[in-house]
């Protein structure tokens, strides 16, 4: 799994328990999944369709740095299925895992559109195209 993004847990990210608010973490993951999909599918119109069971395994507190990992599970026809893991760089503990995040590639009318992709592409590989 590649960890592309780090986030710093700030006072505005906390819940009443004084730890990272789960909704904030999910927003970060959703944005990461969307950005990853837009780059991979080369289309800015990609939406989140489905997220599987979410397992919060440990908490993060103010000042902690968390890193968000994304991996491809499957390239579908219009979909891209991802998995995500977030870990705490201070404690080295896993914070959350999500095994299936299904993103859907859309056309101009907001309908599912085949993306034609079958494997992960890296920016270096695209430079020669």
Ligand X SMILES: CC(=O)SCCNC(=O)CCNC(=O)[C@H](O)C(C)(C)COP(=O)(O)OP(=O)(O)OC[C@H]1O[C@@H](n2cnc3c(N)ncnc32)[C@H](O)[C@@H]1OP(=O)(O)O
52 contacts ligand X (rule: CB under 6 A): no
Please report how close the Cβ of residue 92 comes to ligand X at its closest, in angstroms: 29
**Alpha-carbon radius of gyration of the chain:** 16
CA atoms within 13 A on the CB side of 122: 4
54 DSSP β-pair partners: 98
C-beta of 99: minimal distance to ligand X in Å?
12
102: nearest Cα among 71, 75, 83, 81: 81
3 to 32, contacts with ligand X by CB under 6 A?
30
Taking CA atoms, 83 is separated from 1, 41, 61, in Å, by 9, 16, 24
Among 78, 88, 96, 98, binds ligand X (CB under 6 A): 78
Output the CA torsion 78→36→44→79 (10° steps): 10
> What is the DSSP pairing of strand 2-8 with strand 65-75?
antiparallel
Q: Of these, 10, 18, 44, 50, which contacts ligand X (CB under 6 A)?
A: 50
Contact with ligand X (CB under 6 A) among 1, 47, 65, 73:
47
Q: Which of 40, 79, 84, 88 binds ligand X (CB under 6 A)?
A: 79
CB of 50 to ligand X, least distance (A): 3
The residues that touch ligand X, with contacts defined as CB under 6 A, are 30, 34, 47-50, 76-79, 102, 104, 106, 112
């Amino acid at each position: 799994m590649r960890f592309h993004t780090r986030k710093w847990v700030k006072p505005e990210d906390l819940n009443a328990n004084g730890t990272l608010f789960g909704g904030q973490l999910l927003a970060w993951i959703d944005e990461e999944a969307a950005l990853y999909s837009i780059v991979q599918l080369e289309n800015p119109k990609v939406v989140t369709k489905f997220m599987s069971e979410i397992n919060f395994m440990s908490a993060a507190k103010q000042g902690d740095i968390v890193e968000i990992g994304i991996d491809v599970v499957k390239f579908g026809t219009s979909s891209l299925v991802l998995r995500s893991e977030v870990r705490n760089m201070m404690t080295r503990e896993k914070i959350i895992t999500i095994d299936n995040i299904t993103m859907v590639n859309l056309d101009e009318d907001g309908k599912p559109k085949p993306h034609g992709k079958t494997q992960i592409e890296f920016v270096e590989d695209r430079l020669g195209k």
